[in-house]
Structure 1
């Protein structure tokens, strides 16, 4: 039996480990609410249009965009056809970003809380968990490539002793000693950066995106000048034709959409003005993806002329340069390129993986997990999964992960259709933090059956084609073609059906709005009044609260 004294100690430590609370806050830590889940207050809305432009440069100028050309060419497209697919896909991505980002910039809420409106207070955990699972894997993969950037930098500085150090690990480890050491060095640099609050990330991101732009064009100039042209890849014809080529184009579009379909609502809630994010989403987003993909194709083609081999991954290209030559020029060039890629991976891991997933994890246990703690939990998981196993082997698993957008597409469709068509862009904000039947979003035992039915109906027709593609037995039958349309199919079928079901079976307070207002009775010790560092307090011991009421509704219906 556990003694009463031990139980009391557990209670005390549980209170001390609760998330910090702002001084004079209009909220309390509950199982539904903390500082990072409430509508972002005005003093924390600091992101300007430059910040969002930088966000999309970091998000768009990465390995995914760099290697997008190789993905399209593997489907049998020529370079002009591949670039046409990338242009079309990026324009669609920008439109989705503007529409989805509208929610964050007008209601100052993130994906985690917005999901409660459409899925129910408990049902909202399902889309959040889906994002967390995929983010854990991608975080590991991106930190591995961050380690490769460190390997390039130290290889240039120290020389062959580091770059080609003796491997003491067995082949079954799927990683060499130098890469493993570099991986942990990257993590040591990366971990302190997670202490920076999201609203204060603009300056580091501005520095990062300047380095990224300079690096891409620097490598482009070097490769074209050294190869005396763009190489032979641009003259290669398509290897497919007819209906096969057409369906591959369709599949290529949805494959690219799946890479940039998440995390949009999360950051727009930090917008200083309601239109601050539009330029970044509508202009910078497509331009960055298009330019990065084009530069990636040119650099790969030109470097093949130089080295006689195609290197679609820029990290592998730089490592190959060091293996061929350790001249002062090669070391200087790879050092600066590696430094820029280090900044790119650092920013990518923070913005697209850590912070966004930290917001999701905060929803799982708001009393004890906030964005910062969620980031560190994610980082620990990313280490534990040994990401080099996913990069160097297990290609089937990576294919599964890449196709996971079929599950997220329906969730995105439900979120957007629910907000704009079902609710007319209005929310009972206070009800998003009430975990009982009095909440407009409690529905049936905390679940909105309409969203569940809609998501299942938008997903199940895609599963046969998904499984067939993973198994490598696709032959162009009907199921395969439905899967080729997976993102569009899941998005529109799930979203439209969700709207139809809400029209036929309206829910309590389906329309109308009410503010985020909580009347709280709480007692806080005097030494906890005020935040001791960056708006935080160190302890919430002996803190007690009771939610008396939440807002007043207006213009409601049943």
Structure 2
């Protein structure tokens, strides 16, 4: 029984009906405790994304501050510039391949990670990976919203001028945020909130606009920096500062870290590929656009940082900090105009990135906790509210143990990626009994043992368990090149492949009924899932696969 069921039982029936998620007019489905409009396989009328949208999606995902600063992270590990760029190219290609594999179920069965988890972990066990994603979505939403606020701060500084740029801060140092940043953060949220009203299938045009703006911003900053400095500067000639086996292990760690940064996002790739107009619509964006966007952004970040280091006398890897430093040094008409348009580009990027990586996926995961009352839109607003409550500036503006743990969270997520891929390709052989993914009883092929699949639990624990000592040593700062530390250096690959193979092997040793095969999506409503209070004896099968799908009305 979904998590919120007991709570909603106390709501008076009249209010309970009013609070239910909207249902399309003349729909062929109903809200149940396992199903609503956003969780069913996407019908043909809502499959609107073409290769253009997925190209824009990956430019938004690849062209951001994270990619911009990749080279700095690798240089800190002792790599040379050429070695760092080689690692970035290799990691981006691996991430692209992972995106193709993880997104394949969505583009062929039109369901997201939320529903696929039910097949892999069991109808009740599937809540566990969702809770993990909800937690990380809330934290990263807050952090990305903070950087979106910094983009607003740059824009306001360019428009208002010295009064805003040199605003005297009266907040105590313990707040870890200044008044201008705090104001800008809430302005960003005011701009962002209305965007959550737009359904994912209707985000095509906004994403295209965001992709053009951020691409022009990055290229514009590159041209300006190289022109203003008369070249790229000396930073690009940095040689390796590490040597021997330590440099080798750091290179491996850098490779898996970059893969982990984008691979964790690939975990929910099916959340977006399920909107694809054709089964292969996402491939161009995943295979071509993704690695190009990541590599070009990393190279631009390196060149701009190298050039501006000679202009301003300090190395500023973060593009937001660079633009703020420009305003601190000069508020000429040219500087104000340049930082305004750059801030506008990064604002568009932050808005789109919050939706792409957090609000939609996290909203759908929240919807699965109780579909009758939460859909993607309501879930997205809940994610945003929780993100604000975390006070994200506490994480961003100071080095904390929490951030170290959060950056190493892929040790828990990479096994989940391996499990969902193993389940779909190796165990199910790309076949799903779609209706059973919405049945909360023993008649479901994915009920296993009281709704839990012990095979997935064991595979997941085996995938991350051996990595915990290395993570703890990393957090404590006591890593010294031991065996545990070396294992942690390949944590993403280890967790992914160990869980993938073990999950498959356990199903080979302990198969289940209807383990393979394919069947259409039929929603079976019984006394647990019906909303009209019918008796236990009454059962109704509603076939929701209708190629003549009626137009879906956009309801709040």
TM-score normalised per structure 2: 0.93
Q: 1:542 to 1:13 in 2, by over 3 A?
A: farther
SS at match of 1:518: strand
Q: 1:356 to 1:475 in 2, by over 3 A?
A: same
Unaligned 5+ runs, structure 2: 1-8, 545-556
2:438 and 2:523 in contact (8 A); partners too: no
User: 1:30 deviation in Å?
Assistant: 1.3
Q: 1:282 to 1:232 in 2, by over 3 A?
A: same
Deviations 1:412-442 (A, max 9, x none): 0010011001110000000000000000000
User: 1:258 deviation in Å?
Assistant: 1.5
| Stretch of structure 1 that moved more, 391-400 or 314-323 | 391-400
Match for residue 384 of structure 2 among 352, 359, 379: 379
Deviations 1:4-63 (A, max 9, x none): xxx997221121101111122222111111100000000000000000000000001111
SS at match of 1:212: helix
Matches of 1:379 and 1:204, distance apart in 2: 20
Matches of 1:158 and 1:136, distance apart in 2: 32
User: 1:543 deviation in Å?
Assistant: 9.0
Alignment pair present for 1:332 and 2:337: yes
2:435 and 2:524 in contact (8 A); partners too: no
SS at match of 1:194: helix
Alignment pair present for 1:279 and 2:281: no
User: 1:160 deviation in Å?
Assistant: 1.0
Q: Which residue in 1 is equivalent to 2:220?
A: 218
Which residues of 2 match residues 264-343 of structure 1 at below 5 A?
A: 264-343=269-348
SS at match of 2:12: helix
Alignment pair present for 1:450 and 2:455: yes
Q: Which residue in 2 is equivalent to 1:413?
A: 418
Matches of 1:372 and 1:9, distance apart in 2: 22
**Aligned residues between the structures:** 530
Q: Which residue in 1 is equivalent to 2:513?
A: 508
Matches of 2:445 and 2:282, distance apart in 1: 30
Q: Which residue in 2 is equivalent to 1:362?
A: 367
1:27 and 1:520 in contact (8 A); partners too: no
2:96 and 2:286 in contact (8 A); partners too: yes
Q: Which residue in 1 is equivalent to 2:540?
A: 548
Q: 1:330 to 1:69 in 2, by over 3 A?
A: same
Match for residue 492 of structure 2 among 483, 487, 491: 487
User: 1:549 deviation in Å?
Assistant: 3.9
1:46 and 1:271 in contact (8 A); partners too: yes
Unaligned 5+ runs, structure 1: 1-6, 523-539, 553-558
Matches of 1:367 and 1:509, distance apart in 2: 28
Match for residue 353 of structure 2 among 345, 348, 364: 348
Match for residue 237 of structure 2 among 226, 230, 235: 235
1:430 and 1:551 in contact (8 A); partners too: no
User: 1:459 deviation in Å?
Assistant: 0.9
SS at match of 2:270: helix
1:254 and 1:485 in contact (8 A); partners too: yes
Q: Which residue in 2 is equivalent to 1:197?
A: 199
1:516 and 1:550 in contact (8 A); partners too: no
Q: Which residue in 2 is equivalent to 1:30?
A: 32
User: 1:397 deviation in Å?
Assistant: 1.1
User: 1:488 deviation in Å?
Assistant: 0.6
Q: Which residue in 2 is equivalent to 1:391?
A: 396
Deviations 1:364-405 (A, max 9, x none): 111111000011001100110100000012432111101100
Q: 1:270 to 1:371 in 2, by over 3 A?
A: same
1:169 and 1:176 in contact (8 A); partners too: yes
Matches of 1:477 and 1:521, distance apart in 2: 56
Match for residue 424 of structure 1 among 419, 423, 429: 429
Match for residue 119 of structure 1 among 94, 107, 121: 121
User: 1:148 deviation in Å?
Assistant: 0.6
User: 1:541 deviation in Å?
Assistant: 9.8
Q: Which residue in 1 is equivalent to 2:255?
A: 253
| Stretch of structure 1 that moved more, 382-391 or 9-18 | 9-18
Alignment pair present for 1:188 and 2:190: yes
Q: 1:157 to 1:544 in 2, by over 3 A?
A: farther
Q: How large is the Cα RMSD of the aligned pairs?
A: 1.9
1:101 and 1:265 in contact (8 A); partners too: yes
Matches of 2:251 and 2:400, distance apart in 1: 22
2:439 and 2:524 in contact (8 A); partners too: no
SS at match of 1:252: helix
Matches of 1:312 and 1:326, distance apart in 2: 21
TM-score normalised per structure 1: 0.92
Match for residue 136 of structure 2 among 134, 137, 142: 134
Q: Which residue in 1 is equivalent to 2:3?
A: none
Deviations 1:81-102 (A, max 9, x none): 0000000000000000011111
1:15 and 1:542 in contact (8 A); partners too: no
